[in-house]
């Protein structure tokens, strides 16, 4: 009984959060297939800890933390992925040209960030976490989050400015 109740709770949680987790994962890795893999691995880990997760005050936060750690762990083990640009334009439906340019710019600039800076940006500016919450999710100090954020924002802004200059020149 306890087993099935836990499974039902887990399944309902995944059903309600999978889209959101997938979006976060996509921002981390810039690839939908890898995003699916990251989410799949994360929810498997969540299931293993489900007794604790379901009792946590903030299961979403727990899931988000697991996802980010899975992503960072993958960066450690699959070192070769870091040496290759991961952001290839997706295939499929057409996207308005102006939106596509903005999206590709940001996605490529995001993908160029070191993994931990990228995770910091996603947590701070997509998940809207505070510095303290981001530090907790990443297991680092507030100061580290601030420095990572600062570097990442500077890189993103510089990238955006360069691209804007390039377009203007063209």
Partner 1 sequence: MTGGWEMELSSRLDELVVSAEESAPASAVDAASALRHGRRTRRRRAVVSAGVAAVLLGSVALGTVYGSGGPAPVGPAASAGTDRADRSPLAMHVRFGWLPDDVTTVDAGWHHELGDQQLATAGADRSWLLGSPGPLPWSEPSRPAGWQPEEGEPYSERTPAPDVNGRKAYWVSVKGVSALELLFQSPDGRWLSLRGMGSRAPEQEVQLRIAAGVQVGRFVLPVPVSLDPSTPLSDVVSVDFRRTVHGAGGWQLAMQVSVRGNSTVTISAESGSLPADPAQPWRRCATGEGMWWCAAPFTADSPSGQVTPDDVKVWFDRLVPHSTDERTWRPVLLP
How far is it, in rounded angstroms, from Cα 95 to Cα 112?
23
Tokens of 132: 């303290």
- In the complex, the smallest distance separating the C-beta of residue 167 from partner 1, rounded to whole angstroms, is 16
Query: What does the alpha-carbon distance between residue 111 and residue 63 come to, in Å, rounded to a whole number?
Result: 22
158/166 with CB nearer partner 1: 158
Residue 126 or 166 with smaller CB distance to partner 1: 126
Nearer to partner 1, 102 or 166 (CB): 102
Are the CB atoms for 82 and 115 separated by under 8 Å? yes
The CA distance from 34 to 37, in Å, is: 5
Least separation in angstroms between residue 9's CB and partner 1 is 11
- The minimum distance between CB 84 and partner 1, in angstroms, equals 16
Q: Which is nearer to partner 1, 40 or 86 (CB)?
A: 40
| Side-chain half-sphere CA neighbours of 125 within 13 A | 16
Q: How far is CA 4 from CA 10, 11, 25, 152, in A?
A: 10, 10, 28, 44
């Amino acid at each position: 009984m306890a087993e099935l109740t836990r499974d039902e709770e887990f399944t309902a949680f995944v059903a309600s959060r999978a889209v959101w987790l997938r979006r976060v994962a996509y921002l981390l890795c810039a690839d939908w297939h890898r995003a699916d893999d990251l989410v799949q691995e994360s929810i498997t880990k969540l299931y293993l800890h489900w007794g604790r997760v379901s009792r946590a005050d903030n299961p979403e936060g727990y899931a988000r933390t697991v996802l980010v750690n899975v992503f960072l762990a993958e960066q450690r083990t699959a070192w070769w992925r870091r040496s290759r640009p991961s952001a290839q334009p997706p295939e499929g439906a057409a996207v308005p040209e102006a939106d596509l340019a903005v999206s590709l710019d940001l996605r490529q600039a995001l993908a160029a960030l070191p993994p931990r800076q990228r995770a910091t940006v996603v947590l701070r500016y997509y998940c809207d976490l505070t510095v303290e919450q981001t530090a907790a999710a990443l297991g680092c100090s507030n100061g580290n989050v601030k420095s990572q954020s600062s570097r990442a924002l500077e890189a993103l802004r510089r990238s955006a400015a360069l691209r804007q200059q390039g377009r203007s020149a063209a």
